[in-house]
Structure 1
């Protein structure tokens, strides 16, 4: 009987998550909206090192955002999004089998595959093993 109780206690301790692991201290609250225009906060980074696909959460503070306007301009805030700093405009390309976001000005015709579902935007960079940045609409 004591072995069973000890086993159950050990099992419970090793398989339960703490509430702080489930709910971060500084959660991002998405807001409802339609389409791409608005401000999007970076909340996750996905990547593969060759075996499996990993998701890293991005802290809500300091805020790291992309703001897309209806007239095709983009504004970038945050040191983690430094690769987007050279771009001031974007265009959506739906001519192929995937939806691409083309960033301008770009001498290399830089684009990323995009998926927009509700209030979540994912931008997929060109990586050998796959990678993406996830954003939540905040304005």
Structure 2
């Protein structure tokens, strides 16, 4: 369901969104693409999360057992928080301006923003992998 709804949303954003949303549409596309990757990882890994007191546990119900894929899943989740924060800042800058100020996101700026997202996700992936490698049980 998640994959289909993300594809439908991506199709609608690309083909049906208003021209006034041109800059914000670029951010929506980035968010939807990252969500597609997260959905594929969820389908592959079938992750389960357990939170109890100070315990936070993530494991895979899938036959596919990979610390790197489970770490990449955690990295994708962390990217979504950074993207939400960036969306908030973008909207705040656009709305709070006293004049009709539009933040233009050319390809150079979009590449920089995507590099930040991917860099943060990569750091969180490596940190998650190292955290999972501490114990001998996995």
TM over 0.5: no
Choose between structure 1 and 2: higher helix proportion.
Answer: 2
Greater percentage in strand:
1
Q: TM-score, normalization: structure 1?
A: 0.24
TM-score (norm 2): 0.24
